[in-house]
Amino acid sequence: MVEKPPTTPRPEAGSAATTIAAIATAPGRGGIGIVRVSGARLLDFCAALSGKKPAARLATVADFNSADGSVIDKGLLFHFPGPHSFTGEDVLELHGHGGPVVMQMLLARCLELGARLADPGEFTRRAYLNGKLDLAQAEAVADLIDASTTAAARSAVRSLQGEFSREVNALLAQLIELRMLVEATLDFPDEEVDFLEAADAFGRLDRLQHRLDEVFDRARQGRLLQGGLHVVLAGQPNVGKSSLLNRLAGDELAIVTSLPGTTRDLVRGTLQVEGIPLHVIDTAGLRETDDEIERIGIARSWQEIARADVVVLLVDARSGVGEADRAILAKLPNHLARLTVHNKIDLAARGPACHDDADGVTVALSAKSGEGIDLLRQVLLRIAGWQPTEDVFLARERHLRALAVTRAHIDQARERLPLLDLFAEELRLAQLALATITGDFSADDLLGEIFGRFCIGK
């Protein structure tokens, strides 16, 4: 019999033994501020705070009182009894006036009553530990908060609603069924291959691989929505890098002059193209120089190039790619996507163009007039592998790694045939890798890393 992968122990609702509290609204002033509390049996906590024991899931007007009975604030009190709450424990929400001082006073009162300050992401972590969310859904909470584009927000909502998890669980079900067929034959070595063929085990493997590829492609698209594409503008001085950054961003982010070496440090801008964040970085002109400050800027430029997804090499359209530009191309890391832009076509009496060549893709444009800028945007999306669609998952790098490891083990499984014991072991490892996405199998240090990135109060 094939067992499910070992799961992270999840305590029963309320067994965390401590009550936690935090301000759940953003810092600063606002019309309304919220202090959130989660723990076990919080009605007595309510009574000590407000003199009331409110009905479940109904807004109750209440005074929030200090220890000496004076009123800290007047607002709305909500009580969500566990397990039917976000965390699976009793949850209180104190909706008061959104000034930072009154919020801190309410939080301090909650701490006086026995709560402790919540760690970053602890409310969502408790929701996961109490079975209210799986790990992919819990991460989608933070992704929705951090979404920088409309497309990213919509994809995060789909993951929060469990769409990504359902696809992963469907793959897990296929893996488990295939493992059951394979391991059922291990006790009958004389009939194992015939039995597997009769049970369509190899057809099941093909369908599993195909579905896994589809999920990986959708997740890879979602990774672009979440993290965006890091684009570095490189080239010799005075070829128009700063002008191109300003044109792409639609703002005067960088100083533009006719003097070479004007940009001495990195200048960054973020823009959206079809919902994909493009993080564009203007670098110092790459040349030999005796200027100490400019040398530091050039060193930082090479460091940024090493971390980039795409390097855009700008050259002057009037002179084309010269020896100095080829030297820059030769120094670029091999793994980087590269794009050559012939800028200043307005001065070279040329029109905008785009074509593939030995050094990657070449685009001719004018950063000054804007001609050819749309060509550049579309080429950047093509290099990133973006395909406009409405059903992507807002995936994280760890999700892609888990899917890639799963694919590798399934590929290895096929290569192990006809050694079915090794075939079965590769399927088991594939199942374990895939299960880490939803948290059916996760190390404690992975949980700490994930939830430690959340904001306090969530």
| Beta strands at 276-282 and 267-273: parallel, antiparallel or unpaired | antiparallel
Q: Could you report the per-residue pLDDT of 412-433, keeping only the tens digit for each?
A: 988 887 777 888 888 889 989 9
- Dump pLDDT digits (tens) for 70-124: 999 999 999 999 999 999 999 999 999 999 999 999 999 999 999 999 999 899 9
In 284-343, where does DSSP find H-type helix?
Answer: 292-307, 323-331
Give domain limits for the chain: 20-133, 144-224+396-438, 229-384
Is the separation of the CB atoms in 301 and 329 below 8 Å? no
Q: What angle do CA 371, 372, 374 make, to 5 degrees?
A: 115
In Å, what is the CA distance from 65 to each residue of 49, 57, 69, 97? 6, 21, 5, 14
pLDDT beyond 80 at 53: yes
pLDDT tens digits, one per residue of 150-188: 877 888 888 888 889 899 999 998 888 888 777 767 665
Question: What is the homologous superfamily of the domain 20-133 according to CATH?
Answer: Probable tRNA modification gtpase trme; domain 1 (3.30.1360.120)
> Sorting pLDDT into bands at 50, 70 and 90, what band is 217?
confident
- Rounded mean pLDDT, 323-327: 78
Predicted pLDDT at 263: 42
According to the CATH classification, is domain 229-384 in 3.40.50.300?
A: yes
Q: Does residue 323 register a pLDDT over 70? A: yes
pTM, rounded to two decimals? 0.66
Q: Give CATH for domain 144-224+396-438.
A: 1.20.120.430
Alpha-carbon gap, residue 440 to 458, rounded angstroms: 22
